[in-house]
Structure 1
């Protein structure tokens, strides 16, 4: 693909850069750099307010079609926006699950009523979303979902009644709604009989319990559904065909948002390089070599991500692209955390404060990155997908 920027793209870059320079000042300046890996709890309310300011000026959902409230930006311009946002050290945005995952899924599978109800509120950052996929016995093996939903009444005027448990539900304690994969056909197994429901979280039938992480935060939660309810028309796609919708959403998860992720990685790598310069470890040839290798690998990831997004996924790589990319970036990020700890040296073994469990930015990176090869589809599952669906190897024995 052509990685050069047109005059129009360069003008757009200047527009983004100037807007951020003008607005990331005063009360907003204190938010710079907040909300990174393992730090989703940082200044959450203030970051919501910042995101609503972005929305007021048309800087949310920038890749969405204009008819759905977005800017309809090209892929190149979306990349530029994410690059400039990261370079400005702007706070991590709070609306990823709604903007990058649910929104495109509703555009593809939702009814006109669902689009009219939810998309404008996502654009305006009026409602935040959580993802109800994983369960205690259905994490990487999502087809083992046991959370059940039964229809009380008719499809026109009834409600779904939801019972079960979800786990590792990121930001559920901050969210208004969750998209939940439930088993709606009694006796069904595996991929059959699942439905994709939109469920309000502020109701008596839902208990949200934050899970404390090694990083000291509680980004994710256990969510218990006990007679929780949602309207009958809030099923996305066909009843019983939720697997198709759920898998399509995961495809959006590997979409343009991965480029924002790569830009964030670049910012972290630059920080580790600066740390090495400050404490003198940059003079160690082994450290320099590892940092240089990470730089090269990151640039390859960025270009490969852009190439994959600019090519018809179905004809080009099918399931291979997402699985390969997940394996590569998860391993890369974990290596970055390990290098950061080596650059810190002995200082990385103690907390920053004698008064409590106060971790530095780099300690949090190291600890959080250990999970990168697990969440969003573990390395083992990604390798199975590649082996079975791409290379045609025999399927792994399943008990």
Structure 2
């Protein structure tokens, strides 16, 4: 395993860091994968388009759509790290997933239609996978799509409900999975679609969370008509399309390391501000010991990311790599926020709206949101079962 960088990659990092410092649309107010206020969306669209134009996004796309052949495969990870380190907005939505599906499985017409609009951020995409009864068990989805007509006039009529749709309120397009053959086995009979979110019958309802924000949404689909030309890949082959696009999205893992490193730095600064028995918390030996343990875990998280990247570069990826990385990151992220809250004592009960809240209540919001990471992308309890079965080869859990 080789974890050190290369001079070429570090030179690229310097370019990205300078570009982010000059063009980023300000610091995110909250931690995590959050939906911006509507007033911020024009600036974020412009920022995203500038990243594509500068060659920092879509690096592995076909050259005719702006990709750069011969680029180092870790360049997308460097970009994600530098955006996270600057505490600014990454591109919002599911365009990276949708573009991977279109590039690998779409038609030439679909690539020509969708990819330029992703590059210009004329279209923000959302991911329409999870359902009320099919979150961690995605293959149990029940949204139905039935075909009507033949030839160029053929459409699929979709009925169902999606949930936990981040940025659904901002999305122009949706990357949708729906069941097209209800009699097929569980992982078969599913089709992937590109859905115009402005289509009649699409209703987006915000979900207000513990944080008081509405990052997620419910999406109701009532007789929504999708042209057959918007099927991504083959009909009834949507599971393979979805798993392939999810497998190609690796840059977000690198951002987790930079994100936790920045939170640890903030935690140390908080320890200089908060007090224990009338003294700075950093002077308290128990506080320093706890910070040391958290710092060690942040380093372990970085090493796990480095191992996963090394295996990816050498084609030796393990079935449990991504699962273990997500579990470790999400639980460490929660523990960092939890310690930041507990270090404030009774002031930890204050919120963003309360005068005197340390860091404007950032730790309170981060603590409440941190539970989302342990559920999104597969609940950690489910992922542990997958580690046992896929990674360790243990007998499958009895159903």
Q: Same fold (TM over 0.5)?
A: yes
Contact 1:144 1:189 in 2 (8 A): no
Note if 1:308 corresponds to 2:303.
Answer: no
59, 63, 66: which one pairs with 1:66?
A: 63
**1:63 Cα deviation from its structure 2 partner:** 4.6
Instruction: Tell me the equivalent position of 1:92.
Output: 89
Alignment match, 2:182: 186
CA drift of 1:170 comes to 1.0
Question: CA distance change for structure 1 residues 365 and 183 in 2, over 3 Å: closer, same or farther?
Answer: same
- CA offset at residue 359 of structure 1? 7.1
When residues 32 and 313 of structure 1 are mapped into structure 2, their CA distance, relative to the original with a 3 A threshold, is closer
Partner-residue secondary structure (3-state), 2:245: helix
CA change 1:250–1:286 in 2 (3 A) is: farther
The answer to whether the 8 A contact 1:256-1:309 is kept is: no
Secondary structure of the 1:118 match is helix
- Whether the 8 Å CA contact 1:38–1:368 is kept in 2: the answer is no
C-alpha contact 1:199 1:229 (8 A) present in aligned 2 = no
Q: How does 1:357-396 map to 2 (within 5 A)?
A: 360-396=361-397
* TM-score between the two structures when normalised by the length of structure 1: 0.89
Which structure 2 residue ranges, 5 or more long, are not aligned? 275-279
Q: Does 1:228 align with 2:224?
A: yes
Q: How does 1:124-139 map to 2 (within 5 A)?
A: 124-139=120-135
Answering whether residue 54 of structure 2 is matched by residue 57 of structure 1, we say yes
Q: Deviations over 1:6-55 (max 9, x none)?
A: 3333332332233333335xxx4xx2234632642343333223323333
The answer to whether the Cα contact below 8 Å between 1:55 and 1:125 also exists between their aligned partners in 2 is: no
Q: Deviations over 1:295-343 (max 9, x none)?
A: 2222222232233233259963442111111111111111111111112
Give yes or no for contact 1:151–1:158 (8 Å, CA) kept in 2: yes
State the TM-score, normalizing by the size of structure 2.
0.89
Residue range with higher mean Cα deviation, 268-277 or 149-158: 149-158
Range with greater deviation from structure 2 (316-325 or 366-375):
316-325
Secondary structure of the corresponding residue to residue 364 of structure 1: helix
Q: Residues 162 and 227 of structure 1 are in contact (CA less than 8 Å); yes or no, is this contact kept in structure 2? A: yes
Structure 1 residues 298 and 243: alpha-carbon distance in aligned structure 2, compared to 1, 3 A threshold: same
Q: Deviations over 1:333-359 (max 9, x none)?
A: 11111111112221111224359x997
1:40 and 2:35 equivalent?
yes
- Kindly provide the CA deviation profile for residues 85-113 of structure 1, in whole angstroms up to 9, marking residues without a partner as x: 33333x222335212x2222222222222
Distance 1:325 1:229 in 2: 39
2:240 alignment counterpart: 244
RMSD of aligned C-alpha atoms? 2.5
Instruction: Give yes or no for the alignment of 1:115 onto 2:116.
Output: no
Q: d(CA) in 2 for partners of 1:238 and 1:57?
A: 34
Report the CA distance shift for 1:252/1:207 in structure 2 as closer, same or farther (over 3 A): same
